[in-house]
Structure 1
Amino acid sequence: MPLDVTILEQLAWPVTVMAAWLAGELGHRWTGLPRISLYGLVGFLLASPQVGVLPARHSDVMLLLADIAFGLILFELGYRINLRWLRCNPWIAVMGLVESLITFIAVAALALWWGQPATTALLLAALAMSTSPAAVLRVVNEQRCTGQVTERVMHLSALNCVLSVLVFKVIVGWVVLETSGNVWQALSSSVLVLVLSAGLGALAGLAMPWVLRASDRSRPDATVVFAIMVVLLVAVVHALRLSPVLATLTFGLLARHRRLVLSQAQRNFGPLGDLLAIVLFVFIAATLEWSKVAAGLGLGLALVLVRACTKTLGVAAFSRVSGVSWRKGLLSGLAMTPISVFVILVLEQTRFLGVDLVDQLAPLGAATLLLDIFGPVLTQRALVWAGEAHPEEGR
């Protein structure tokens, strides 16, 4: 390979990350749009199928970096989930279960009516249940949001992710069983993945007190300690081809409820989290190809609309019994629009297991592109309209 081509390939990702950062900072300053929407737009435009700046194939290393970035966000989300609140107000959990079920049924029915195979319809429905915690938490932290709508959206997005992973893995296991007839392979790609992923996350939570005792407790910033543990957990999960979603969420939940102090850690894990977030949202958008997006645009648009309606109405239906107004219920559902990061990483992880579903789910590419750009905007607007956004001056 000529030297100049090699140099250009090596510079592709650093140049793209710099371009995304500049677009995010300047775009946010001039328009007030969420930075992550602009990161995604730059990643999509500079991807190999579009302008062609980024390489055609994404390496395992880039997927690992994206998983680490997602893992840091999921750990922070898991740490902010209060299980006692769910016990005191069980309607929140009921709300999450009902709106997820309605979304699954509605999207599956839509896909079948559109002429999609049963397997494709079920996989689309399983992924449509999710809400991207990466987009939600980045917008919440960027806008410094606090309040009932913010807390509901974070708790519901965590519940959505767990339910989506569970259902998706079961369907993938069924697909593997149907195609290969190998029961062990089907179980290892579904049930075993779920159990081992949650188990490793719990193990990290149990080991964390020992790690904190071994570290210098006089240090004012605990960010590095928690970040290293999350990176190690994601690396192990990635190497074993397990689910970083369940592992890091479990770790965050256990860390909170074992009273491990995270209050001194920086929001978003500081500059490390900010840098990896740019890589994450660029990587997600760069996996999308315009030709495939265009091929699935009709069903993708319909999927976005059906999903938005089921989630918004499903959450709003339980607003009064769960202790908030109809308006806040509607805004909570609207804030759950983002989906892209969760969907793409789950599909990429499935590809590395040897089950390539990306080409089968072309409509999801269209929905993902739309929600990668507009989803965070709707979350931001919903939280602003709820009166819970308090952005820093000059940010």
Structure 2
Amino acid sequence: MPDLLTVLTNLSWPIAIALAWLAGEFGQRLTGLPRISFYGLVGFALASSQLGALPPADAGPVLALADVSFGLILFELGYRINARWFLTNPWLLASALVESLGTFVAVYFTANAFGTSTLTSLMLASLAMSSSPATVIRIVNEMRSSGQVTERVLHLSAVNCLLAVFAFNVILGFWIFHTANDIGAAAIDTLVRLLLSLTLGAIFGVVVPALLRQLGNLARDATVAFAIAVMLLVSICYSSGLSSVAATLAFGLMARHRRVAFSQAQRNFGALGELLTVLLFVYAASTLDWRKVAAGASLALAVVGVRMLAKTIGVTAFARLSGITWRKGALTGLALTPVSVFVILLLEHARQRGVDVLDELRAMAAVTMLLEVFGPIIIQRALLWARESKGSQHAS
């Protein structure tokens, strides 16, 4: 008969998920704040480096489930993107490029001003470019939000992710070799892998809808088929060194343009998606160590501030040119604040490849923890102020 410690260890993740879900439900009802903020707090509190209720993060089944959860979210994000919009409104794409580059430059010089090494500053800057699609999609769905700000946030966060993946992997290659001669090769290798990932995702986006049409009854079978396909796609990407971020985004984008309907009831992939979302946010926060968070707190506050400013200015500068008011441009930039889950998974997979950079990136641990809790609140308020959510009429 197993001893009590073994039983408790085996039950740690199910109990953590149950506690996080309860915290999210009661917390949202009592405060009106997003559920995922409470998921993050529970995950951080129960982490091995805090209360020790959860085992240390590793490459086990929990990470695999977190990857699948993130893949489902990226698929849904890709599915909601209209690529033709970037062609008909090139200023929208210009705003994405400018705010991402502006964020990179602003965070790089801020980190340098705090005495951070050049490589660490570059890594911080590349990670800061991103906006977390997991948080964006979850809050948009939870608030049933729609409108100009909502759609722009979805589109800009997708561009941010691709740019951040490219920059992160180029700088990671430079980090490994520490020679300028290798940065060109790292950039080319990263670009090729990104293109291959996009191609693989596009192939899935053609094949899966075609298979569903052969089976008939798309409304009944689409959700399960897409979930299985995402799981397979994520597994192929990690076994072959490709980017699951680019692949699952391309999969969703191509599925949209193959005109496979994704009904309102299937957002978040139903109960399966809800469960995996809780696990994803608990897992992300559980990888953080309070000592690293505390050590990087001062730089983290500066990074969060300049990052928010750079994104808001970058999007607002193109607001009129892209067809919206200055106010909605500023709210769109503000809504790009979330970053947490995306960064955690990038860093965790770098660690699994033998490159543990989190000790050097103590500030990023602190940024992640801050935005794990406050990022969802900021985007929630931005969408309320834009009056694009069902509850916006009650906003102050």
Same fold, judged at TM 0.5 (above): yes
Deviation of 1:188 after TM superposition, in Å, equals 9.6
- Distance in 1, Cα, partners of 2:361 & 2:95: 28
Structure 1 position 191, deviation (Å)? 4.0
Amino acid at match of 2:74: L
Asked whether the 8 Å contact 1:27–1:35 carries over to 2, the reply is yes
Q: How does 1:82-161 map to 2 (within 5 A)?
A: 82-161=82-161
Structure 1 gap ranges (5+): none
- Inter-CA distance 250–306: structure 2 relative to 1 (3 Å threshold): same
Which residue number corresponds to residue 43 of structure 1? 43
C-alpha distance in 1 between matches for 2:218 and 2:284:
39
Q: Deviation per CA, 1:162-203, whole angstroms, max 9, x where unpaired? A: 111111111112222327998999579734532332232122
Separation in structure 2 between the aligned mates of residue 384 and residue 184 of structure 1, nearest angstrom: 44
SS at match of 1:130: coil
State how far apart, in whole Å, the 2-side matches of 1:20 and 1:290 are. Answer: 19
Where does 1:1-395 land on structure 2 (aligned, <5 Å)?
3-178=3-178, 190-217=190-217, 220=220, 222-263=222-263, 266-391=266-391
The answer to which of 7-16 and 209-218 deviates more is: 209-218
Structure 2, unpaired ranges of 5+: none
Distance 1:183 1:301 in 2: 30
Matched residue count: 392
TM-score (norm 1): 0.94
Percent identity between the aligned chains? 56
The residue type equivalent to 1:37 in the other structure is S
Q: Secondary structure at the match of 1:190?
A: helix
The one-letter code matched in structure 1 to 2:336 is: M
Paired AA for residue 346 in structure 2: V
SS class of match (2:360) = helix
Deviations 1:87-134 (A, max 9, x none): 111110000000111110010111111111111111100110000011
- Separation in 2, partners of 1:272, 1:32: 24
Greater CA drift, 32-41 or 179-188: 179-188
CA contact (8 A) 2:24 2:39 kept: yes
Deviates more, 1:320-329 or 1:360-369: 320-329
TM-score scaled by length of structure 2: 0.94
What secondary structure sits across from 2:366 in the alignment?
Answer: helix
The separation in 2 between residues aligned to 1:57 and 1:136, in whole angstroms, is 25
CA offsets, 1:260-295, max 9 Å, x none?
Answer: 332376111000000000000000000000001111
Q: Classify the secondary structure of the residue corresponding to 1:387.
A: coil
Q: Determine the C-alpha separation between the residues in 2 that align with 1:220 and 1:191.
A: 38
Distance in 1 between residues matched to 2:360 and 2:310, nearest whole Å: 24
Partner amino acid, structure 1, of 2:259: R
* Displacement over 4 Å in runs of 4+: 179-189
Task: Tell me how far apart the structure 1 counterparts of residues 120 and 2 of structure 2 sit (CA, whole Å).
Answer: 42
CA contact (8 A) 2:319 2:328 kept: yes
Q: CA RMSD in A?
A: 2.2
In structure 1, what is the Cα distance between the partners aligned to 2:58 and 2:181?
31
- The letter for the 2-side match of 1:148 is Q
| Distance change >3 Å, CA 331–CA 188, structure 1 → 2 | closer
Amino acid at match of 2:49: P
Asked whether the 8 Å contact 1:126–1:168 carries over to 2, the reply is yes
Q: Is the 8 A contact 2:219 2:262 kept in 1?
A: no
Structure 1 position 259, deviation (Å): 2.3
- Which letter maps to 2:77? L
- Between 1:22-31 and 1:383-392, the stretch displaced more is 383-392
- Bigger shift: residues 140-149 or 342-351: 342-351
**Partner Cα distance (2:100, 2:187) in 1:** 24
